[in-house]
Amino acid sequence: MVDQTRPEDRWRHVRVLFLAFLGLWLLFTLFPLYFMIITALKTTAETNLTVPTFWPEIMAFGNFAAVFAEATNFDALVDSFVIATINTLLSLFLGTLAGYAFARFPRQAGGENLAFWILSNRMFPPVAILVPMFFLFDSTPWGTDSIWSLVILYLVFNLPLATWLMMVFFRDAPRELEEAAYLDGWTPLRAFMRITLPLVLPGMISVAMLCWIFAWNEYLFANLFVGTDVRTYTIVIPTFTHGSQTLWNLQMAFSLIAMIPPVTLFILLRRYMVRGLSLGVVKG
């Protein structure tokens, strides 16, 4: 009897320890979000206390209205949305075609080396090309201060990612299914649209999410490139100041609002994202 209960006891200890660790980890990761929310609800005076409070004394819901008192702030969200969306569609379109070429015609498409070179574009620190890119875009007809400058520039980061991931997804989609479609009488383009594309759709949705979130959150390049005609929300947030005083409550309120689109997208599409990860399971 004693010998039988002991191992169970030991496992119970391990489980309790594990849960305790998870609890701590949860606190650690959720605390910034919590502090963001309560800061967004504090009055300006309360945000400046030397000893921070962990619950607002007065719930200043007016902060959210104050953010939108200035119409240009809402416009910044629109600009960010337009830039991120157009960039995502472009990345997805080009990345899908390129990924398919690398997956199915590796030799004709330049081989593994070219595919790897494309991915390696993500390896340098972006700040290294900040200034050269500025001069490059400044010499284009649309200049730097336009949505197109950022739409094109973000392709530098998103297109390699989209190409590489789509290549992996296409490799997992069995070639035999396309061949079966050819024998059914479908031309290569129609076989691609009917058979292969639906199979990688969950993968495409995951890629779209990653691209969109990157473009939505980008600050470094946006801060240098745009700011007059076009303003993304990321470069608007730091402008919420009063003299030398940072208006943390307004900044956090705006940040929370800016979190809504990506979080909504994620919740809506999370089923596809999970399926995107289990693409290989087609054969039976």
Partner 1 sequence: MARLAIEGLCKGWDFPVIDDLSLTVEEGEFLVIVGPSGIGKTTLLRLVAGLETPDGGRILVGDRDVTRVPPYRRDVAMTFESYALYPHMTVARNIASPLKARGLPEDEIRRRVGEVTRLLRIDMLLERKPGEISGGQKQRTALGRTLVADPQVFLLDEPISHLDARIRHELRSQFHTLEDLRRVATVYVTHDYAEALSLGDRIAVMGNGGHLVQVGNPRNLFEQPATLFVAEHLGQPTINAIGAELVDVDDRLEVHAGSLRLPVSPAHRAALTKMQQRQVTIGLRPQHLRPADELPQGMELEGRIDIFEALGSTGVMIVDAGGVRLTALTRPERSFDHGEVVTLALNPAALYFFSPVDGRNLLL
Interface residue list for partner 1 (CB under 8 A): 174, 176-177, 179-188, 190-191, 195, 198-199, 282-284
Beta carbons of 217 and 233 less than 8 angstroms apart: no
Joined together, the tokens standing for residue 6 give 């002991």
Check if the beta carbon of residue 193 is closer than 8 Å to that of residue 144: no
Which has the closest alpha carbon to 134: 222, 28, 234, 15?
A: 222
CB of 75 to partner 1, least distance (A): 41
Specify the residue, 24 or 282, whose C-beta has the smaller distance to partner 1: 282
41 vs 191, which CB is nearer to partner 1? 191
Cβ at position 195, least distance to partner 1 in Å: 6
d(CA 225, CA 232): 10
- Which CB atom, from 110 or from 174, has the smaller least distance to partner 1? 174
**Which CB atom, from 185 or from 243, has the smaller least distance to partner 1?**
185
- Least Å distance, CB 208 to partner 1, is 19
Q: Could you tell me the smallest distance in angstroms from the CB atom of residue 281 to partner 1?
A: 8
Shortest distance in whole angstroms from residue 113 CB to partner 1: 21
Q: Which tokens is 101 given?
A: 């070429």
State phi, psi for 242 to the nearest 5 degrees.
Answer: -130, 100
Q: Between vectors from CA 112 to CA 107 and to CA 113, what angle results, nearest 5°?
A: 110
Residue closer to partner 1, measured from CB, 103 or 222: 103
Torsional sign, CA 15, 278, 268, 33: positive
Structure tokens of 113? 């080396």
